[in-house]
Structure 1
Amino acid sequence: MDAHREDGLIDSPNFIQNDDELLNRTLAVLPWDRFSNWIHCACVVTFDLELGQAMELIYPGHVKLTDKEKMNICYLSFPDSNSGCMGDTQFHFRIRQCPGRKSLMRAHSQYNRDAPIALQCDDAHYFGFVYFRQTKDRSIRRGYFQKSVVLVTKLPFVALFNQIISIIAPEYFDNGEPSLEAACHDIDQWPIPVPGDTLNLPIMGTVLQVRVPSRSDKLIGPAQTRSEHGHTVPAHTILPSLHEVDIYSAFLTILPHVQLLWELVLIGEPIVVMASSPTVTCHTVQALVNMIAPLKFCSDFRPYFTIHDSEFKEYTTKTQAPPPVILGVTNPFFAKTLQHWPHIIRIGEMGSIGSSPKLANKVKKAAALKTLDSNPGVYTRYKSFLTKDKAILKRLMKGAQLKRPVEAQNAILRRYLLEVTQSFMIPLERYMASLMPLQRNISPHKGPPKLRPFESEKFLETVEHSGPQLTCGIKGDWESLYKRFFRSPNFEGWYYQRQREVNQKLQLLHLEALSNANLSEWIVDKEEVEIVDLILKIKEKLTFASHHHGIVAKDSVSRLQKQLEDIVSTLPDDLQSVIKT
């Protein structure tokens, strides 16, 4: 492995694969352990004439949800009463996990270690994937059958769980609880979600073949398709992605504003998406969050948000500036309640895919949105820092006229946004690399060196000569865009993650230097207090190695353990007994 990676971090040589992953795949597990690796629980929410939305069933039965979590799931599992959704409706939501609950499971922590940063499990939120059915039924006093099946999970696999709920829910509506139990038992047989593996997931008579994204994947180009056994296995349904949504269709009526929206999402501005159905809002909100991939969106986002949400007052108060959150809403009440928000996106009814869409070409002032009946468009006072790239819009419009497949249009737009984001991040990554200490300065006789602090002014001095305009070709005030980015949660999240990764690498290199040094020779003329100090440092390193045994070379740990034993043996017996306790 090279000493330096493209992202500017020093790699420690001889990384090894975590043995626990192999053990986890072969050792016996308790009932529902594998199920919990994928899904927290399945719920059925019904309409009760006395109570309104009510939790009818939680499966498996041992899973606990707090009253607040149950309430949020119930209210978010039905489309708003103004939506008039007849038949079947699919959408998803995101809610906070109540404090004091168990953090991430071991399988999720292992997944996070190798997953792309933007796709890591979040220990503070749940996703809920909903399949709602509303049909006329004269046998019911209210005249309608209204019920939702919901999958609650921590994994951000939007495409996968939308597919799974579309398989499970119709079976449940036709055959009742035994079919839901059978589906959950199928999921309880699934292997652990390991980044890089292609898995075959049987569910109710079909098999979904999926590849779990890995941090080491190439961002552009076809993904690898090797299974956990080293070969591709035939499957009934191959999902091209676990998590991606069709961003082209989501932005079809507001395509001229895609670049402006990218800026708003990048700098973490508050955005509300208004549409007539939760299917549209959740699709659009998820598309917004995905716009800045591979950068992680670090603010809160709610693909579907209602007036009953426990955070309603927090997110709609007018006594302070709106928080950096993206909300998807359908209730006309929000057009008045959120009128003070700086950025409002109104999504119109979707036209026929492939036809030339009627575009909202002009950005409208935020104050112009008075009701939910306003025309589709983007309402904002924000002035873009960058000049509009008309070439991408022309290409997509020409594709629509030529009836280019939606999948191809989506791939073109996704690649464009990826390249713009990468162009924005490359100078930041390059600057972070310049803050790294030189490898030759890592000494076994000193503490590990630290990353030098990030100085925004020094970084901004580099933008004119090596900024994004050189790689993506978009002109504009990139410097001011970076300044806004530095004040956003997205920068904080990126910088914290980079700091953590760099410091871990420095610890690994320092451990390596200690294990290779001739410490027995070094202690010959040292005082006892210095030798004890060295022993404590080595013990600290061995503790670090035990917590990171998936990335620390075994032979380095063995050498360091031997060094420790040799040094301890040179001390007087009474001191040895104290150190060994």
Structure 2
Amino acid sequence: MDRTEEPVSLPWDRFSSWLHCVCVVGFDLELGQTVEALYPPHAKLTDKEKTSICYLSFPDSNSGCLGDTQFCFRFRQSAGKRTSLHCVNDQTDRDSPVYLKKDPACFYGYVYFRQVRDKTLKRGYFQKSLVLISKLPYIHFFHTVLRQIAPEYFERSEPCLEAACSDIDRWPVPFPGKILHLPIMGVVIKVRIPTRYDKPGTTQIVELTQQLDAQISVTLPTIHEVDLFRCFSPVFFHIQMLWELVLLGEPLVVMAPSPCQSSETVLALVGCIAPLKYCSDFRPYFTIHDTEFKEYTTRTQAPPSVIFGVTNPFFAKTLQHWPHIVRIGDVKLAGDVPKQVKVKKLKNLKTLDSKPGVYSSYKPYLNKDEEIIKQLQKGVQQKRPTEAQNAILRRHFLELTQSFIIPLERYVAGLMPLLKSVCAWKSPPQLKPFSLEEFMKTLEKAGPQLTSRLKGDWIGLYRHFLRTPNFDGWFKIRRKEMTQKLEALHLEALCNEDLLFWVQKHTEVEAVDLVLKLKNKLLQAQQEHLPVNSETLEKLQHHVDSIIQELPEDLQGILLKTTHS
């Protein structure tokens, strides 16, 4: 099948490749928050998942969110029902960057909450949330989709939701690298999902003909990114330290006035180490009703490696023992330069009305980058557009992460065995083990000083990083890629051998054994999507067929059955 060719879709197949379901959560005076509607009707959610969605879909009562509010949450999927939704999703995952892959253990919830005064209701308020539940971390994209659906839904109710779901079920599947036109509620959204082959930091929107563009209502330059500058502006002077805390997987809680600020700040933190994937848990919006509340707030053990955002003042008391707390106030960026907010010791976080700032006793490994601070301050003074400020900050984080990761990439590439050690008649050679001390020795000549102007204890930062889930996750992916590359090189070596000549010198039993081994190799190449070109696979299949032709007829019949079944 061509890589971009679409298979025949059954009803709701395409919908399932984007969303698990759409929920309407309302408020009942006797029952509290309840799921009032679920689309498509056959969508399955456990009672525990429904409870999580109900509590996470409404802002905390202290937030006082009047009008329309959008935010995002993430919650654990119930164990025992984690299945692949769609074979095409496997390709979506395979070609996506690591930070955009589906999360096998969690769902994302994208919320559009409306609270308006309504004297006809007993409570005096209309309160309802429209929630998109998905495995995909396409933050910006799904919030844009909600802005098209939710206002219409609140005005016209059920029929409008059915129409929106039908629109989504006609969308092409989310193939990375392709320009997609996605009609929804009378408008067309144009997006491109990044691929793992894109150069980090680039946005690749291909220009289409004007005839097509005339039909486009919304073009999204990004499907997943949040506005980093807006999120970090309240703690502007500590971006360096926050980058280190996220890189090292430190326990971090964001206390914010609203779920919108809470979720955006957590997502900005998780995204600031891109293209590295943040491998620990994170909860953009977390409530006291969460099933993991006790697990995360217990004082009997050290806080786990997790970033979560909260709005309830109760957490200020419950989480005083946490090592790093970021408190966000109401963001007012009316052209003023953000004031320098010092890092405060945690003992100062006693009252519920504590001032915005970073509460931590962490001492950063690297010196502060004064240049980026000055550049962004100047931008605020000159009223530089927020998009430009965001781009500057994003590029800063990207360069910082790349400077940090390049020495690791270079060292790990050296763990590959030499090409001459790949032999057709032996199993593929093993990767050399990762040695912390050997890696450290490489830093003197090929460390981050080659690409970064920042001074500080880089060695200490690496030693700490190599003990974190972020390193384990990164190395696991790199080791898998390199092992697959060795398997692919082994396949190519087999293809270049004269296998028929070998068969003529060996017994029938050995020839049959070779056919079965080659068949397993072909199956592995297909199932694991090894980096092998189709010509190599065709050549190997031809070798298999040629060897079978040389064998007695009874064996031919058996082997042809097993090789083509």
- TM-score bucket of the superposed structures, by smaller chain: over 0.9
| Within-5 A mapping of 1:224-235 | 224-225=205-206, 235=216
2:2 counterpart of 1:19: yes
1:482 aligns with 2:465: no
The residue aligned with 2:287 is: 306
- Displacement of 1:222: 4.4
Work out whether 1:127 is the aligned partner of 2:114: no
1:147-185 Cα shifts (integer Å, max 9, x gaps): 111011111110011111122111111111111111111
Contact 1:199 1:227 in 2 (8 A): no
- Say which SS state the counterpart of residue 21 (structure 1) adopts: coil
> Contact 2:488–2:530 at 8 Å: present in 1 too?
no
The structure 2 residue matched to 1:183, chosen from 161, 164, 173, is 164
Residue 100 of structure 1 pairs with residue 83 of structure 2 = no
Return the offset for 1:225: 1.5
Output aligned runs, 1:384-463, within 5 Å.
384-463=364-443
RMSD: 2.0
Equivalent positions of 1:241-390 (< 5 A) are 241-360=222-341, 362-390=342-370
Among 50, 70, 76, the alignment partner of 1:90 is: 70
Work out the CA distance in 1 between the residues paired with 2:251 and 2:313. 19
For each residue in 1:214-258, what CA deviation from the matched residue of structure 2 results, as whole angstroms up to 9, or x when unmatched? 111122344242569998775111111000100101010111100
SS in 2 for 1:454: coil
Give me the whole-angstrom Cα distance separating, in 2, the residues matched to 1:230 and 1:21. Answer: 24
1:46 is the counterpart of 2:26: yes
Other structure's SS at 1:352 match? coil
Q: TM-score, normalised by structure 1?
A: 0.93
Distance 1:214 1:73 in 2: 30
Q: Matched residues in 1 for 2:208 and 2:487: separation?
A: 33
Structure 2: distance between partners of 1:93 and 1:228: 38
Q: Equivalent of 1:78, from 50, 58, 62?
A: 58
Deviates more, 1:256-265 or 1:456-465: 456-465
Moved more, 115-124 or 348-357: 348-357
Indicate which of 150, 153, 156 corresponds to 1:172.
153
Deviations 1:288-334 (A, max 9, x none): 00000000011110000000111111111111111110010001111
Contact persistence 2:203–2:222 (CA under 8 A): no
Secondary structure of the corresponding residue to residue 460 of structure 1: helix
Task: Specify whether residues 222 and 23 from structure 1 end up closer, same or farther in structure 2 by C-alpha distance, changes over 3 A only.
Answer: closer
| Aligned CA distance change for structure 1 residues 128 and 469 (closer, same or farther; 3 Å) | same
CA contact (8 A) 2:484 2:530 kept: no
* Greater relative CO, 1 or 2 (CA 8 Å, sep 6+): 1
Q: Distance in 2 between matches of 1:20 and 1:66?
A: 35
Seen in structure 2, the aligned counterparts of structure 1 residues 559 and 220 have a Cα distance that, compared at 3 Å, is: same
Match of 1:154 in 2: 135
Q: In structure 2, what is the equivalent of residue 238 of structure 1?
A: 219
Structure 1 484/238 Cα, relative in aligned 2: closer, same or farther at 3 Å?
same
Taking only the aligned residue pairs, the percentage that are identical comes to 57
Query: What is the CA distance between 1:436 and its match in structure 2?
Result: 0.7
1:59 to 34, 39, 43: 39
- Go from structure 1 to structure 2 and tell me whether the alpha carbon gap of 1:345 and 1:333 turns closer, same or farther (over 3 Å shift): same
Q: How far has the Cα of 1:575 moved from its partner?
A: 5.5
Tell me the secondary structure at the aligned position of residue 413 of structure 1.
helix
Q: Give secondary structure in 2 for the equivalent of 1:156.
A: coil
Give per-residue Cα distances to partners, 1:37-58, cap 9 Å, x unaligned.
Answer: 1111111001111111111000
Secondary structure at 2:63 match in 1: coil
Contact 1:197 1:227 (C-alpha < 8 Å) held by counterparts:
no
Instruction: Give the AA of the match of 2:189.
Output: L
CA shift at 1:562, angstroms?
Answer: 2.2
1:562 to 542, 547, 552: 542
Ranges of 4+ aligned residues in structure 1 off by more than 6 Å? 227-233
Task: Give CA-to-partner distance per residue, 1:473-505, whole Å, 9 cap, x none.
Answer: 111111111111111111111011011111111
CA deviation vs aligned residue, 1:449-475 (integer Å, no higher than 9, x gap): 221111111001111221112211111
CA distance in 1, matches of 2:330, 2:521: 59
Q: Does 1:141 align with 2:122?
A: yes
Q: Is the 2:485–2:530 contact (alpha carbons within 8 Å) kept by the matching residues of 1? A: no
**Residue 572 of structure 1, CA deviation:** 5.2
1:200 & 1:359 partners in 2: Cα distance? 45
Structure 1: segments with no counterpart, 5+ residues: 1-17
Amino acid of the residue matched to residue 204 of structure 2? A
Larger CA deviation: 139-148 vs 51-60: 139-148
| Aligned partners of 2:280 and 2:305 also within 8 Å | yes
Separation in 1, partners of 2:497, 2:400: 45
Distance in 1 (CA, whole Å) between partners of 2:293 and 2:54 is: 15
TM-score by length of 2: 0.95
Aligned length: 560
Distance verdict in 2 for CA 1:460–1:551, change over 3 Å: closer
Query: Which segment is superposed worse, 527-536 or 58-67?
Result: 527-536
Matches of 2:75 and 2:6 in 1, distance apart? 33
Please say if residues 252 and 326 of structure 2, whose CA atoms lie closer than 8 Å, have aligned partners that are also in contact: yes
